[in-house]
Amino acid sequence: MEKGTSVSLALGSGGARGLAHIGVIQVLKEEGFTIGNIAGTSMGACVGGIYCAGKLDVFEDWITKINKRETFRLMDFTMSTQGMLKGQKVLDHLKTILGEIRIEDFDIPYTAVATDVRAKEEIWMRTGDLYTVIRASSSIPTLMMPSKLNERLLIDGGVLNPLPLEPLMPKTTDLVVAVNINANAENHTRHREILLSSGLDKLQEQSEEETTAYTSRMVNSVKGWLNMTKSPEGDAVQESTLNYLGMLNKTYDFMQDRMCEQSIEIHKPDIVINIPRTVGTTLEFYRAKEMVEEGKIAAKKAIANWKLKQLVQ
């Protein structure tokens, strides 16, 4: 690889898993790549935008230190039928940490992708307040309320484009790198499993207990959001409703998986960094440090494979 090889970077959607993008960017820089263009959807838009603003280190320092309680406090639940979360509290907090950020001030070309519900089309955002853009790009259906921007009603860009390679075309850099955080788990050993294999049994037990407690609290909040009350069928009706929401989310996941595969097949990026969906769920932001490590592991593996192919050719 020539020193300073430039890359265009497509950062995919996936909620808290998207924090793996931090690790990917760090490895790309360590390996001598120069990032010349970024397009992101949802958490990809968040991490990509913060990197372009030169604030990624500050963001990582904050996000990798928050625990379950702090994560929960940043979730502004609402009774709206349009979504479970307002999604504004965390962005307001980010603004206090990172300051005012506008996309047009970036030295690196940057595109955030959202979906316009009324126009039924994807929107590429390249100007404006970064926090407003992130909010629009990450409004996951059923989870977060849609975002209003001018006359548009916007939801998660992942609905139509979970891996935004199109905004990077035609290629203006040496390479195009796609970071797919909705990949399958074939032949993947999670970073957590690597730690546990080192004999940290107590860590596993503690982690499982904390995750169970956290999940229970989230479920209770969802029940409150749905305004569930006791009925003749009791818990069976509540469980049925929660299963219904779970099925919607599963369907959304499957759709994203397939669209990512198709996007990679059509645009054929030079390097594909695959991070399995199984490494974490949408709201597990308290596992940020682990997600960053997952990104590093996946990036090192993909870059090593790419280098090997270059030697063979």
Q: Which residues are catalytic?
A: 42, 156
Lowest-confidence pick of 4-13, 175-184, 191-200, 233-242: 233-242
Helix orientation angle between 130-137 and 89-98, rounded to the nearest 10 degrees: 150
Which pLDDT does position 252 carry in this prediction? Answer: 72
Does residue 295 surpass a pLDDT of 80? yes
Return d(Cα 203, Cα 159) in angstroms, integer: 36
Return d(Cα 186, Cα 230) in angstroms, integer: 42
Classify the C-alpha dihedral 177-178-184-188 as positive or negative: positive
Return d(Cα 74, Cα 189) in angstroms, integer: 30
Return d(Cα 312, Cα 9) in angstroms, integer: 25
Which one has a higher pLDDT value, 236 or 23? Answer: 23
Q: Which residues face 6 on adjacent strands? A: 34
Classify the C-alpha dihedral 174-180-184-189 as positive or negative: positive
What percent of the chain is predicted at pLDDT more than 70? 77
Return d(Cα 195, Cα 175) in angstroms, integer: 33
DSSP secondary structure code for residue 163 in this structure: S
Classify the C-alpha dihedral 45-16-180-21 as positive or negative: positive
Q: Is 111 helix (H, G, I), strand (E, B) or coil?
A: strand
Which pLDDT does position 233 carry in this prediction? Answer: 44
pLDDT in tens, 229-271: 443 444 444 444 446 566 666 777 778 888 999 999 999 999 9
Mean pLDDT of the chain: 83
Return d(Cα 132, Cα 34) in angstroms, integer: 27
Which pLDDT does position 245 carry in this prediction? Answer: 60
Which one has a higher pLDDT value, 147 or 235? Answer: 147
Question: Residue 60 contacts by C-beta under 8 Å, 6 or more apart in sequence?
Answer: 22, 288, 292
Q: What are phi and psi of 231, to 5 degrees?
A: -130, 175
Question: Nearest-CA neighbor of 104 among 78, 80, 130, 124?
Answer: 130
Return d(Cα 178, Cα 186) in angstroms, integer: 18
Which pLDDT does position 1 carry in this prediction? Answer: 54
- The pTM is what? 0.83
Supply 102's token pair. Answer: 């506008």
Which pLDDT does position 189 carry in this prediction? Answer: 57
Region 97-115: mean pLDDT is 97
Range ranked top by mean pLDDT from 1-10, 127-136, 208-217: 127-136
Return d(Cα 107, Cα 199) in angstroms, integer: 46
Which residue reads 């409703």 in tokens?
A: 241
